[in-house]
Structure 1
């Protein structure tokens, strides 16, 4: 009974948090926050952000012990959702006494995690952070590395007033050859997000242009912030017009999380060798 009530409470908190973040001024703050939590589910990023916007790294009590750190007395836990998984065989195969078991999600439970700021103990290794700006050689090398990492051809050309574009029919990205390297990096990720989210057969292929642009810009913001770029403030005012339907907002937010994580993991291999991870 207590667990069920706790899940009801956390679901209400989750729905309110989504509404607050996705339809208000907190959206940009959440995107900045997401750059540290891109591997988490959309629901849990909202729950963690809502309970502790300053959080940077969370783990359970026992997980912290494994890392030589201990939760301080009186520390406030952050409640998140953990999946409940069980093994299940297909009915026909079960009757025949064969077949592989598969993992089946049958619900969620809430668990307590703690931010690193609520722990003491062994120092954790801090990854090197490098803030890149301007048109330095490091940035130019990074641009070439990122171009090689993604599976979409990239062209440097005169794109007129636009910083670049993604060609849906011919499947390539064009970057304005006269823009700064920083702008080219940001545009590259923005247009690559269009490829992942809006190409033929992609999840949001049929979405309106305003939503597509907001999604691509949100993903670019998260990815670049993760790698140490300060890309400035973006205009997210029109996000409130996406939808008042929580289901739609959850789907949009989930795809921003999934797409950002996919790109960060794809680029991380090279960047970590260059000491540019965050």
Structure 2
């Protein structure tokens, strides 16, 4: 473009802008018509273009790239530290969404939609920062714990007993797994730090979960899918998973007073069963054991139990075993781990919320 052409384009732009508040009118002057330019005094209308936000495909790519980076972490301690920051949100959000939340707000702890926060008696601050997440299209939405708790409280005030309320909750709400989606949209959620309590309406957001309650709840869930036995194991192991008829059997050694240890074992063995490691002949045992223990670490972290020391030693040993066979963790393994942990957290939380 020549200097003269550039000057002409700039002049046209200025003229168009200057004429946006001008108007031509026609006046009769005898037998002639006269065209007069007047200033209307109106300012040009500003049109705001709505920001469409990040596309679902772009968000998926970012999360998948982050998962690949996670799989390339060099030390086990660093891997556990990197994964722990996603454990808090795994109960409500997928592996991808947990990563996206952390990417946009590294200090996020409890994340809900604006509507869900209202059930906890909280509202968004004026400067609340939205976090973009993917939501599934074509499958039922999971109902949040705030909505369920609000319903339970109302029914208790009406005088209904807990058994009746439990049946109503099962009929009315989607509180567990809701299906697999292949199409996604984008939505906005907010961290608790971007909310404030509504006077007179604020309710507790979290509850402490004891190891005994968590173990008993998880054992009930496991029995719905597998055979579960508590028995003495003589080979030094704390638990194992084996074939049982057409399904799988989980055996754990429960020693009185060692609630945390047996909880750790049950999560680990149930992860083996859910990830179907007995049937994955293509998966080296070192990778299978690492998947199960990484899942255990994430589930424990979500509910406030620190399995780091045991998990780190266990995973390092099995990853060294896998590397000796030329195998290592990939992003597909991290994806399986995080979504398995999410399923376990989801199922337990759905029972504990009541």
Provide TM-score, normalisation by structure 2. Answer: 0.56
User: Could you tell which deviates more after superposition, 58-67 or 35-44?
Assistant: 58-67
Give 1:207-222 correspondences, 5 Å limit: 207-222=283-298
Post-superposition CA distance 1:38-81 (Å, at most 9, x none): 23222111111222233222234455456553322333322212
Question: Highest relative contact order (Cα 8 Å, sep 6+), 1 or 2?
Answer: 1
Q: CA deviation at 1:185?
A: 1.8
Query: Is the 8 Å Cα contact of residues 86 and 99 (structure 2) preserved in structure 1?
Result: no
Inter-partner Cα distance in structure 1 for 2:119 and 2:228: 44
The equivalent residue for 2:196 is 120
The equivalent residue for 1:99 is none
State yes or no: 1:44 paired with 2:93.
no
The equivalent residue for 1:150 is 222
Which consecutive residues of structure 1, in runs of 5 or more, have no partner in the other structure?
A: 87-103, 133-138, 274-278
Post-superposition CA distance 1:86-105 (Å, at most 9, x none): 9xxxxxxxxxxxxxxxxx97
Structure 1 116/162 Cα, relative in aligned 2: closer, same or farther at 3 Å? same
RMSD after superposition: 3.8
SS in 2 for 1:157: coil
Inter-partner Cα distance in structure 2 for 1:105 and 1:149: 23
The equivalent residue for 2:71 is 22
The equivalent residue for 2:142 is none
SS in 1 for 2:275: helix
Inter-partner Cα distance in structure 2 for 1:81 and 1:211: 29
Higher-Rg member (1/2) = 2
Which consecutive residues of structure 2, in runs of 5 or more, have no partner in the other structure?
A: 1-49, 140-179
Q: CA deviation at 1:131?
A: 5.1
Structure 1 187/47 Cα, relative in aligned 2: closer, same or farther at 3 Å? same
Which of 249, 252, 258 aligns to 1:172? It is 249
SS in 2 for 1:126: coil
Inter-partner Cα distance in structure 2 for 1:85 and 1:149: 26
Inter-partner Cα distance in structure 2 for 1:269 and 1:108: 24
Structure 1 3/243 Cα, relative in aligned 2: closer, same or farther at 3 Å? farther
Query: Is the 8 Å Cα contact of residues 156 and 176 (structure 1) preserved in structure 2?
Result: yes
Structure 1 159/49 Cα, relative in aligned 2: closer, same or farther at 3 Å? farther
Give 1:261-276 correspondences, 5 Å limit: 261-268=342-349
The alignment covers a number of residue pairs equal to 243
Query: Is the 8 Å Cα contact of residues 287 and 329 (structure 2) preserved in structure 1?
Result: no
Post-superposition CA distance 1:102-153 (Å, at most 9, x none): xx97743433322111112322323321455xxxxxx3x7655644542222
Structure 1 84/4 Cα, relative in aligned 2: closer, same or farther at 3 Å? farther
Inter-partner Cα distance in structure 2 for 1:47 and 1:149: 29
Inter-partner Cα distance in structure 2 for 1:186 and 1:205: 25
Q: CA deviation at 1:195?
A: 1.3
Query: Is the 8 Å Cα contact of residues 155 and 172 (structure 1) preserved in structure 2?
Result: no
Inter-partner Cα distance in structure 2 for 1:59 and 1:5: 19
Which of 236, 241, 266 aligns to 1:188? It is 266
Query: Is the 8 Å Cα contact of residues 215 and 256 (structure 1) preserved in structure 2?
Result: yes
Structure 1 165/71 Cα, relative in aligned 2: closer, same or farther at 3 Å? same
SS in 2 for 1:160: coil
Query: Is the 8 Å Cα contact of residues 167 and 173 (structure 1) preserved in structure 2?
Result: yes
Provide TM-score, normalisation by structure 1. Answer: 0.68
